[in-house]
Structures are given as structure tokens and as C-alpha cells.
Amino acid sequence: MDSVEIREKYISFFESKGHKQIPSAPVVPENDPSVLFNTAGMQPLVPYLMGQPHPYGTRLCDYQKCMRTNDLDEVGDVTHHTFFEMLGNWSLGDYFKKESISWSFELLTKEFNIPVERLAVTVFKGNDIVAADEESANIWKEMGIPEKRIKYLGEDDNWWPNMELTGPCGPDTEIFYFRSEDEIPEEFDPEDDRWVEIWNNVFMQYNHNEDGTFTELPKKNVDTGMGLERITAVLEGVTDNYASSIWTDVIEKIEQISALTYTGNEKAMRIIADHIRSAVFMSADPAGIKPSNTDQGYILRRLIRRAIRYAKKLNIDINSDWEQEIAILIINKYKKYYAELEENKQVVLDVLKNEKIKFNRTLEKGLKEFEKISSKIQDGKMDKDNAFRLYDTFGFPIELTVELAGEMGIEVDEEGFKEKFKAHQELSRAGAKEKFKGGLASTGENETMYHTATHLFNAALKKVVGPDVHQKGSNITAERMRFDFTCDHKLTDEEKKQAEELVNKWIDEGLTVVKTEMNKEDAVKSGAECMFIEKYPDRVTVYTIGDVSAELCGGPHVENTSKLPHIKIKKEEAVSAGVRRIKAVFVEQ
């Protein structure tokens, strides 16, 4: 069964159980600046898991674009990816454990034809706060999973997202598949890596309150996630994810371009395949990510550069159109599921080409720095600080430094470098964890107020600059709002002042903010502002503010503009041709 069939079967199975397919959200969270990327299918659904009604109803399913970049440097082995897709189904206060588990079982055994003997599960074993999840264990037994194939694990394994975070949470049950040809052991051992986890069903049963207590949620949710890459490899019987139907054509393309075989060059080819695919999805994303030195842009830059380095290792002529060819293949493969790939094809190809040109220049600078460092070395040893500097500032991977140093008879303190590198990674992991934490926490008061302010600015700029002003993006933190919009010129001081005054006037007027659900068509007809019309479901929510603004939006917003302090534009700048950006902050009144 290939990935095309798996995707289709998953969606149609859940549709047959009353679920509505929702479109994938952008890979960069739309209204959540605290996370760089969606790392799980449930992330864009957080507001709905917290209780906001979803316009599609209470049973949802989808495939969601996700990125996990904590393990970027581990890509190259048989399992790691940066970009991946997550299949998921949700119950928003609708069905719970019984249906969720029995449908998972039915899909796996009937649609995907997995023999029951190859399945095993884990459930939450309980702790001093919450009891063991016997309910799930019993449902699995009823399904025919023998007791020896059901293991009880603690909160590190069977609680989502984790016990420390506040907000909706609960026990999960993870489903494992025995992927080896060996005889299947009667007793399931989650530590035995012949058993691979394929699906996670989270039962959001509790709210973890600020005061540390756990209370039962009035509406219980189900959140499940199954990585498409992994399930495809499993069902196709390959242990190397990159040997599955998701990758074979991409790998063949790289073989053809390099005139080398995958066997013997696996690591380099996997890295090129994975990183170019991620770069394609990132640069085609509605968030409009461009290579840069911060946040998502920095990840994009590293991915492209790492792909280039490995292409060099395969002796691919870097100045040829090798990366364009791979990108075009990927675009054609996925455009059926993600229309933005076709729409932004040229953008993607330009991003790749321009970054390649830039990297070639930096590489030259790095080589100069390398020469400078090595010319000063007396004892034949390069210390960890210089090796790390080459990595950190010039993007030299340690292998490259070791290789170049080796040619000059210089030894590199690799151990020291690794320690430094690890400390650095732990720092960024901690950072990433913080960011994820932020993503799950409820939207704060400040963010909500800034969110309403972006709607006001959108309306004010239309009045001041002209009706061609449309939102191109926004990014909100507790400290400020950022708003991107179409405009063919730098705002004059007068325009900035007028827009600001108008927004502050509306704030003073205390306009009511009203949320209405309606059909998409009616919303568009009514003239409501909307950023990506095709991304919205048939039923949408529209926020109107007095009679000055109406926008399709998921919220949240304040109920009245009088809740907002006055606001001031701090910065106005260009983002790209025809797109301007303002940053604004609340000021004391």
C-alpha cells in the first residue's frame, strides 16, 4: 500500500465515521508567534480543543504539514525527517475512548490489513494525581489485544503534552507495530525497537489548572496523530523510511543527477531529499518564509545550505539546476494535496537559487577564516573554540573543518567541539521547548488585544492608503503586533499618523466586537476581509468591529475596543515588493 492510498484510506475511513476533512493549516502557526512551526497535527486546533466551536463541527480529520527541527543534525539516518505530514482525527467534545480506540483498531486491521498479532499498545499506568487508564486497556482487550501486548507506562510516555504544562491534557494510548521478520515475542516490550510506534491517541480528559490541580473537562476531546512517513514505511515493509514510496522517485532523481547509486551514498542522498523537500514546503507556505538569520528563516537557510554541502560531497555540479529539478519533482508530487506549491512555484525556485548563490559567497569567506586560523596554529592542534566559531559563524560542519585541517596535518579538538555543540544544542532545545509550551498555553490577554488591534489597523490603512490594502500576514507577541499588508509605497509620516489616530479613535469609541458564524460564500459576499480564501472551510467565523471592520478569522478577540490601550506605530518597513510591515505597541494613556 503506497502513501497515496494510505492518505486516501485514512481520510475516507474517518469521513465514513462522520468526520469532516479540514485543510492543512500553514506550517507556521497563523496566530501563535510562540512557536516556529506546527510540530503536530493538533497544534492549529488548540483554540478548538480549548472549547471554541469549530466551523466544521465536532468530528474532524486531516493531514497537516509539520516540521520538527530539534534533531536537524540527525537527519541522514533511516528515520529522521524535518518536514513530515501527520494524519489525524479529532473529537471536540463528541466521541471518546471507546470509539477512538475501536476505529483505530478497525482502520489498522481492516483497511490497512495489519494482522492483530503485529499490534501492541501502551496505556497510562497512573501516578499519585491521576489513576491508571484501565478504561483504555479494557477497550483494547475487547478489541482482541491480549493482555501481554498491553503495557502500562508513566507520564513520560503516556501523557500529552506533559504533566507540567497547564491547559487541556490527558492520558494517551500509543499503538505499536512489530516490523521485524523475527518470530513475534508473546510479551510486548516497548523498549524492544522491533516494535515501532505508529499512532498516538490522546484523550484530553483533564484541565491542568494554574493552581496545579487537575479537573475533569466538561467536554472531553480526542486528538490522534499518525506520521505518514512512518506508517508508509511500515506498511511497505521497509526499515529505511527513505526506501518507501514517499521517497523513491526523489532518491532516483538524486541518483540520476549525481550519477551515483543510493547504496553507499545513503546519508548524503537522504539529507538532500529531506532538506530540499522541507525547503520547498517552507518557502511555498502562506507565511512566506525567506532565508534569513532568525527564526524560521534561519532554519530554511540551514536546510538549503546543508543540502548544498551534501550535494557537493556527491560531486554534483552545484551551479547546475540540480536543486531546481528536485524541487520541481517534489512540487509535482504534492501539489494535488497542497495547492500553494503550484501557486508559489516560482517563489520556491527563486529562494533555492538565490540562497545557493549567497552560500557560495559565504563559503569563500569561511575558507578565508579557516586559513587565518590555521596559519596561527603552532602545535598542530585546532582548539574547540575556533572549530565552533567556524561552525557557528561560517556554517562549517565539523566534518568539513576536520577534513580541511587534516589536509594540513592539523588535528581538531573534536571532543571539545562536540561538548560545546551539545551545550549549544541543549540551549536551543530548551528554547524550543519553551516555545512549544507557549504554543499550547492559552492565548494571553495582551496577544488577544493585539490581535484585535491588527483588525483595526487593517481597516484604518484601507481608509488612509486605499482599498487595495490587504493583510498579507501578522505576528503577535505579548509585547507587540506586527502586521504585513499590500501597499506599493513607503507610508508617509502623515499616513502613519492618520492610521494611528483612526485606530485610537475607534478604541476610544468603544466599538463592540461581534463574532458570527456564516457560510463562506455569504461572508465573502458581505465584503468581509479574508487573507487566504481557499484555506477556509464552508462555514466560517467572521469578526466585525462596530461598522468599521469585518474579517474572516478564528479569533480570539476582545469583546469591545475600549479594552485596548492606545497604540503607536514603532516601525514601518518593506517586506518584499508591494508588501509593507508595521510594528505597533500599546502605550500608556
**Dist CA 486 CA 339 (whole Å):** 22
257 forms part of the interface with ligand SER (CB under 6 A): no
Q: Which is nearer to ligand SER, 223 or 355 (CB)?
A: 223
Q: Cα dist. 286→116, 149, 209 in Å?
A: 42, 44, 35
Largest CA distance in the chain: 77
Whose CB is nearest to ligand SER?
A: 225
For ligand SER, which stretch binds (CB under 6 A), given 134-142, 217-225, 406-414, 567-575? 217-225
Q: Per rule CB under 6 A, is residue 439 in the interface with ligand SER?
A: no
Distance CA 463, CA 485 (A): 13
- 224 is a site residue for ligand SER (CB under 6 A): yes
DSSP string, 207-236: EE-TTS-EEEEEEEEEEEEEEHHHHHHHHT
Q: What are the distances in angstroms from CA 431 to CA 108, 298, 299, 426, 456?
A: 37, 15, 14, 8, 32
Q: Name the one range near ligand SER by CB under 6 A: 38-46, 176-184, 337-345, 464-472.
A: 38-46
Site string for ligand SER, 359-398 (x = CB under 6 A): ----------------------------------------
Q: Name the residue nearer to ligand SER (CB basis): 85 or 223.
A: 223
CB of 231 vs ligand SER, minimal distance in Å: 13
How many degrees, rounded to 5, is the angle at CA 244 between CA 249 and CA 352? 45
DSSP tag of 292: -
Q: How far is the C-alpha of 451 from the C-alpha of 481, rounded, in Å?
A: 7
Q: Does 40 bind ligand SER (CB under 6 A)?
A: yes
Shortest Å, Cβ 201 to ligand SER: 7
- Pick the piece of the chain touching ligand SER (CB under 6 A) from 219-227, 335-343, 391-399, 520-528: 219-227
d(CA 67, CA 253): 23
Can you tell me which of 27, 42, 331, 481 binds ligand SER, judged by CB under 6 A? 42
- In the set 64, 89, 173, 200, which binds ligand SER (CB under 6 A)? 200
Site membership for ligand SER, residue 223 (CB under 6 A): yes
Residue keyed to cell 476505529: 103
Residue 41 contacts ligand SER per CB under 6 A: yes
By CB under 6 A, is residue 88 in contact with ligand SER? Answer: yes
- How many Cα neighbours within 13 Å face the side chain of 9? 20
Question: Which residue in the set 26, 33, 76, 225 belongs to the binding site for ligand SER (CB under 6 A)?
Answer: 225
Q: How many residues bind ligand SER (CB under 6 A)?
A: 10
How is 131-193 classified by DSSP, letter by letter? ---HHHHHHHHHHT--GGGEEEE-HHHHEES-TTS-EEEEEEEEEEEE-SSSPPPSS--TTST
Contacts with ligand SER by CB under 6 A lie at 40-42, 88, 160, 200, 202, 223-225
